[in-house]
Amino acid sequence: MSPWGATVDTGVKHLKRQDLFDSTARRELVERASRAITLARHVLPYMSFYRKFLASGYGQVVPRDQGLYNRKFLTPYLATFLTTAERLIIQGNLCDVLDRTFTSQNLMRQLRRGIVLWQSSDPGTSQSITLKIAERTVIEGDLLLEHHLDGLSLHKLSFTFVPGRILNKACPQVLFIGGSQGLHSSAEQVRHAAKANGEITPANMLIIAMRGLALALGIDQICGVRAHSQPVVHDKPKASVSVYDDLWLMNGGMCKPNYYVMPVDTSHDLTKDIEGKNRSRTRRKRRLRQSLTETIAGHVRTILASS
C-alpha cells in the first residue's frame, strides 16, 4: 500500500472513531437532557421525597456521595411498565418501610453490611443467605438477597417494597423482585449446593428466603417481573425467559401482563395430591421447603425484635 493509501486508511479509521465518539456523546447529552426535563416535571414530589430520604435511617447509611440512590426514579428503575411518578412513590415507600422495620440505627447499619437470614454447614461446605442494601448501580431493586457457597455468590435477587395500590392490589405492601442473577459458569457449584439442600437450587432457596421474609413482615404477596418488563434485559426477553419467567412459574407464579404473583403461604401444598412418580420424594421436598420458610421467618422476627 502507498503512503497515500495508508494515510487515507488512517483518516477513515479516525473519522469512524470520531463519529462513534460524537454519537455516544450525543446520546449521552440527549439522555441527560431527558432526565433533566423529567426531574423538572416532578420537582415538587422529588423535593418531598428527598427530604424524607435524608431524614430516614436508610438515607443515613447509604453513602451520601452516591446520589443515584435518590435519583433512580429517573432510570428504568425496577420495571419498564412503571411511570416516573410511580417509581418516585416506590422509592419514598422504601424509606418508610425500612424505618418502620429496622427501627435502630445499628440494625440499619447491619442491613447495609448484610444480615445473615440462613446458614448451613456440612463437612467441607458452608452456605448462607444474606439480606442487604444493594449497590447504588443496581436498578432492579434497592435490596438484595444473596446466596453464598463457601463465600462465593451463586445467585442474587434484587427487590424492593411496592405499595399494593400501584399494582392494583388490596394489600398494603408487596415484595417486588426486579432482578434475578446467577453466577456465570457455575453449574457445578449450583449442583453441589442443591445436593446439600435436598435438591433445592440456590435460586429457589432465595425464593424460600423471600417467602420467609414476607411471612415475618406480614406481607401476603411476592411479585416477580416478567422478562419483557425487566429493566436490564427487556430488549432481549427471549434469552431471559428461563431466568425470570420460569423461576416464577416453578414457584407457583400466576401470570399477569407485566409480572407474576407468587403466594407467600404455601403450607397448603403439604396436603395437595401428588401425581406421577417419586411421590415420597416430592412430599419430602415440600416439607423441607415449608420448614426452611418457617425457620427463616422465625429468624427474621428474632432479629427485628432484638433491635
Segment 57-104, tens digit of pLDDT: 998 888 765 556 778 888 889 999 999 999 999 999 999 999 999 999
Confidence of residue 122 (pLDDT cuts 50, 70, 90): confident
Short-list 206, 234, 227, CA closest to 293: 206
User: What CATH class does 100-305 carry?
Assistant: alpha beta
Instruction: Specify the pLDDT at position 273.
Output: 60
**For the chain, domain boundaries:** 100-305
Confidence of residue 277 (pLDDT cuts 50, 70, 90): low
H/E/C letters for each residue in the chain? CCHHHHHHHHHHHHHHHHHHHHHHHHHHHHHHHHHHHHHHHCHHHHHHHHHHHHHCHHHHHCCCCCHHHHCHHHCCCCCCCCCHHHHHHHHHHHHHHHHHHCCCHHHHHHHHHCEEEEEEEECCEEEEEEEEECCCCCCCCCEEEEEEECCEEEEEEEEEEEEHHHHCCCCCEEEEEEEEEECCCCHHHHHHHHHHCCCCCHHHHHHHHHHHHHHHHCCCEEEEECHHHCCCCCCCHHHHCCCCHHHHHCCCCEECCCEEEEECCCHHHHHCCCCCCCHHHHHHHHHHHHHHHHHHHHHHHHHHHCC
Asked whether the CA dihedral 54, 57, 60, 62 is positive or negative, the reply is negative
What pTM does this model have? 0.85
Instruction: Specify the pLDDT at position 236.
Output: 56
Predicted confidence (pLDDT) per residue in 254-275, tens digit: 999 999 999 998 877 656 666 6
